[in-house]
Structure 1
């Protein structure tokens, strides 16, 4: 199979894009943002049938998807052993024999995402790989701990070696329309991250309307978010195509006005290879090829990798393997 190496964005150039420095809160812009729900839902409903890739092309897209996965474990029973196994999988996400059959070099995932307590374990396990560790922070998933503790948690994770911080916003600021409070909160979180890149988790399933999602996306970008992310994965409704369309178009509008490219991370509920293909085609259609790199797009997922592996094995052998052959640890 002849295709460009999907891991062609090397770890040395990861995050080479100029960082989003943010801007002053522009309430005229925020208030002007609307969302036509029926039109958005119609467009989202057509997405699964608009693009179809088969055979070698599908395998190439799936390999690309692997390089953009934030391989995640956020369970109450996480142990150092489980995190080390996850990190081993991050280093070698696809069996060497499969990669050889596909004519590919070694690839890795985009990052490993863990709770703060597991950051040091993950950093040690990934040493020398170039794979960054992302830490969920700021009272994840509810974001209701005292504000000074949320800020301190960011600092502790950065000190422990996290290169990316996934923060959760205070949903009440969105639901009450207190955009200044959301901006100030996000700005403080951004400053606490220092050189670590910050992903703003909107918890879109708890924001009420698509207009709220659009406005929250814009405010977080104005405050300096490097990524905007749909969900914690703990809400009743996580990543969806309508929400993704709204957030992606907010990213596009922000880039057109400011010149800064902001990344996008759908998270929660994306577990099938076919779903990954839909999201990648959406990104290509709405934002263009530059966003199809791990410094500007990530999947927040764990089981997604296993299904992609099964699809790749089917492509090579013509048969589906048992799920246990592709476990994450």
Structure 2
């Protein structure tokens, strides 16, 4: 497979994201415009809950709409997170990116399990991605405990990071999450988010997913990249164009 072909695949695995604190309705409209590139359309956009209804009205029917809940702090008010989830789904969200109470991975993994289980019920048919903030967890044993707890609760996808802390996705954390998914079997997936800015970054996570989940398993259902700035680089590689410097973003 050529780099251009792989870049096209990666565009189709991208959750194009705007979770800036100052995000506006106009920014969301611009995000939707960017999402349908001349090469391929992204898998989904990922936005704040307050913009879901607006985005649903404009988004193509074949593009997923993801929104964050309990974001970015990962608090323990499960009732409020479920309320936020139900509203997002009613407004048109297809996917819920839930920040779990990752700080409790060591002493209360059952809390993470029950939190994911409750949000899964509130989400109905929407898929739930559990964000573990692996960069702040740091200790591989804690990352593993959080991953297992989220899967026990029924998480559809394990996601590395909010992109709001100093350390986002890392290959080490990605391997732990992917190993947890692979050991369970089934159809759960993985999302790398936080600091993915270049084609090479996205490629490394895709290859890792193919290695651990199995050849052909890094589908758009089971593998995603969460980012904003990487899209331009992927489009440039896919089109054989000159690449710009890395762009900051999620």
> Structure 2 length normalisation: TM-score?
0.93
Structure with the greater alpha carbon radius of gyration: 1
Q: Is the 8 A contact 2:75 2:100 kept in 1?
A: no
Q: Is the 8 A contact 1:218 1:254 kept in 2?
A: no
Alignment pair present for 1:231 and 2:157: no
How many corresponding residue pairs? 248
Cα distance, 1:144 vs structure 2 = 2.4
Q: Distance in 2 between matches of 1:241 and 1:300?
A: 15
Residue equivalent to 1:31? none
1:52-77 CA-to-partner distances (Å, cap 9, x unmatched) read xxxx6111111000000000000122
- 1:168-183 correspondence runs (5 A): 168-175=99-106, 177-183=107-113
Q: Is the 8 A contact 1:271 1:304 kept in 2?
A: yes
State which of 51, 62, 78 in structure 2 corresponds to 1:118. Answer: 51
- 1:245-324 correspondence runs (5 A): 245-255=175-185, 260-313=186-239, 315=240, 320=242
Query: Structure 1, unaligned stretches of length 5 or more?
Result: 1-55, 100-106
Q: Distance in 2 between matches of 1:279 and 1:145?
A: 30
Residue equivalent to 1:146? 77
Q: Distance in 2 between matches of 1:294 and 1:233?
A: 20
Taking a change above 3 Å as real, the CA distance of residues 241 and 80 of structure 1, as seen in their structure-2 partners, is: same
SS in 1 for 2:200: helix
Q: Is the 8 A contact 2:206 2:223 kept in 1?
A: no
Cα distance, 1:87 vs structure 2 = 0.7
Residue equivalent to 1:211? 141
- Which is strand-richer, 1 or 2? 2
Taking a change above 3 Å as real, the CA distance of residues 152 and 303 of structure 1, as seen in their structure-2 partners, is: same
Q: Distance in 2 between matches of 1:292 and 1:178?
A: 31
Query: Structure 2, unaligned stretches of length 5 or more?
Result: none
Alignment pair present for 1:79 and 2:9: no
Q: Distance in 1 between matches of 2:135 and 2:165?
A: 6
Taking a change above 3 Å as real, the CA distance of residues 70 and 180 of structure 1, as seen in their structure-2 partners, is: same
Deviation >6 Å, runs of 4+: none
RMSD: 2.0
Alignment pair present for 1:109 and 2:42: yes
